[in-house]
Amino acid sequence: MVQSRSLIDESGKRTDGRVIDELREVKINVGIVKNADGSALIEFGKNRIIAAVYGPREVHPKHMALSDRGVVRCRYHMSPFSTDTRKSPAPSRRETEISKVIREALEPALILEDYPRAAIDIFIEVLQADGGSRCAGISAASVALADAGINMRDMVSACAAGKVDDKIVVDINDTEDKEGGADMPVAYMPNLKKITLLQLDGELNPNEFNACLEEAVRGCLKVYEIQRSSLMEKYFGDEKGMKEE
């Protein structure tokens, strides 16, 4: 990633008008897919992504079943109309890789020992992409897993940070992703304080790396509050949740 033009103006505003430590607007609606055991729609800026969870259910083919724990299968898919140029509906290498890293980011939060011989299937369908779709997909899938009643140790919240105009910024958008200096997607379990995904595209020195990671985790904590209130709103009808009890 070599940056060729300035993406932050003199007043500190980014290409979409945000300041460097500002997240895009995030909204989550829980339980929007009638036929799934759990589901969520996330709007993360212009990203619009549905996560649907099926399970625990019988594993087919049966040889994939594990006797001591459940298996997690994950499919991340971008719709042909989700990007500015039509994307082939066939699964790409990128989608196969992202499906794998999302599964690995979610698995540490799931108490899979509770589901021997069973499968938990996670489908992430990107309807509209605008940079950061893997992070938004992870955050939506985590809410969908909770909505499905899967036993979990923690939520998984995800957010990227990166380097734009030599500044560390949170929640990289599509333009910053393509033209900026670095993009670091991070997934984080906010109560256990553990990172479950860390990728880096671009170059950062050690100080920038630490600052970027800190910014991404701060972003994850903001996403966590929205995940939490979306679930509280569905199950208790109160988006402030049980904090006030």
How far is 210 from 224, CA to CA, in rounded Å?
21
**132 and 172 Cβ atoms separated by less than 8 Å:** yes
Tokens of 87: 């994307």
- Closest CB 76 distance from ligand ADP, rounded Å: 9
Query: Of 27 and 86, which CB lies nearer to ligand ADP in the complex structure?
Result: 86
Query: Of 37 and 174, which CB lies nearer to ligand ADP in the complex structure?
Result: 174
Closest CA to 5 of 176, 144, 127: 176
- Closest CB 164 distance from ligand ADP, rounded Å: 14
Tokens of 53: 């969870």
- Closest CB 44 distance from ligand ADP, rounded Å: 10
- Closest CB 86 distance from ligand ADP, rounded Å: 8
Query: Of 59 and 129, which CB lies nearer to ligand ADP in the complex structure?
Result: 129
Query: Of 21 and 95, which CB lies nearer to ligand ADP in the complex structure?
Result: 95
167: three-class secondary structure by DSSP: strand
Binding residues for ligand ADP, rule: CB under 6 A, are 83, 85, 87, 94, 129-134, 174, 177, 185
Closest CA to 187 of 242, 106, 121: 106
Tokens of 173: 């958008």
- Closest CB 123 distance from ligand ADP, rounded Å: 17
Query: Of 35 and 85, which CB lies nearer to ligand ADP in the complex structure?
Result: 85
Contacts of 205 (CB under 8 A, 6+ apart): none
